[in-house]
Every structure is written in structure tokens, then in C-alpha cells.
Amino acid sequence: MLDTVLPKQRRSRARRECIIDLGARLLNERDLEEISVVELTRALGCSTGSFYTCFADKTAFFIEVQRRVSAGLDARIQAEFETADLSDMPAAKRLALCVEFTLAYFRSHGGLIRCALRYEHRIPDAWAPNRASAQRIADAVAAGLEPDTARRIRIAVQLAFGAMVNALMHDPGPLRLRDPSFADEIIEALTPYLNEAGLRPAQPFHKQGEHI
């Protein structure tokens, strides 16, 4: 196991990385409170004390798992959005790219995202990387667009993210996160809103002082 295979000077770092890797897998299947330190360390053949050498507590462990997953996500955002040339891509196609990319992330890391949302008030740093990543995606797909179109695509991205969070956390239907048509339905619903950019002024439905 870890304590016998690796040279002494590399054990602590390797143990920490292995605990994070295992945690990322388990958190996609179960809630944070359902995963014990004993289970983590026993699966890796190391002592409970080894866990606390690497992490102050389970909260610190969870934050590190989230950071690890977010680092991989950030690299993909940079490659697929920030360094890619989207200048000739119409707004509707940018939205489709964003929805499909984000949906794949939700499907791959749904358990971790659910835990981050569930414990946001107790562990603010857990959800912060997801919030920052969403902002980066919105900034990238809005870059270079006319102001009204940029505003609309940001709102469309917010609505798409909200639909995914709702499906993940509450699963009210009719669309489920794993439905093959999820992305297509969301894109189809939001594209007309994007296509109205510049066709009418942004103003409230009712004049100030009017009652609904």
C-alpha cells in the first residue's frame, strides 16, 4: 500500500492526492456526511491519523476535492472558450456550446455539485469555484457581441444554469438531467430570446406607477 510502496519523502504528498482522488469519486455517489474518514483511509491502506496530517477536517478535505475538480474544469474552459476563436460564431451557437459543455460537467460531477450547493452556507468556499467558473463561461460567450446581445446571452446562460441546478437538486421534471434531449430543449427554449436582441428596447412590461 501507500506506506510501503513509495519512498518516505513522497508518501505524504502521494497520500494526500490519493485521498482527494478517492473523495472525488465517492462524492459523486454519496453525500459528504455519508463518507467517513475511516472509510477513506481504510480503502487506501493508511491510518486515520494520516488523513488529519493532510487535512484539518472533512470540511478542508471537501474544499480540496472541489478545488481539484475545478482546476480541471478551468483548464477546459480556457481551451474551449477563452482561447478559442468565437468571433465568427453567432450568439445562438455560442449558447448551444455553453449549454452542452456545462451539462456534460453536471452529468460527470453531479454529486460533487450537489454537495457544494447543499453545504454552501456552512462551507462558502465549496461553491465559490463553481460560481467563478460560471462567470468565466458567461464572459467568454458574451465577448465581442453587441451590448444587447451580450446582455441577453448572459441572461440565457444564467437561465440554462438554473435549469440544470433545479434538475440536479430537485428533479421536478418534465426534463431530467440525464434526458438525451435536455440540452436541445433548453437551447430551443432560449434561442428565440437571443434572436430578439436589438428588435425592441429593454423596458418593463408596465409603466412606472401602473398596477398589474
pLDDT tens figures, 105-151:
999 999 999 999 998 888 888 788 888 999 999 999 999 999 999 99
The stretch 152-169 carries a mean pLDDT of 96
The top-level CATH class assigned to 2-54 is mainly alpha
Predicted TM-score (pTM) of the model is: 0.83
Q: Strands, E, within 29-87: which ranges?
A: none
Q: Which of 26-40, 121-135, 147-161 has the highest mean pLDDT?
A: 147-161
Gap between the Cα atoms of 107 and 110, Å rounded: 5
Domain ranges, ordered by start, for the chain: 2-54, 65-195
Gap between the Cα atoms of 135 and 167, Å rounded: 20
pLDDT digit string (tens) for 49-80? 989 999 999 999 999 999 899 999 999 999 99
Gap between the Cα atoms of 72 and 31, Å rounded: 22
Radius of gyration, CA atoms only, the chain: 21
Quote the cell numbers at residue 175: 426534463
Residue 149's identity, in one-letter code, is: T
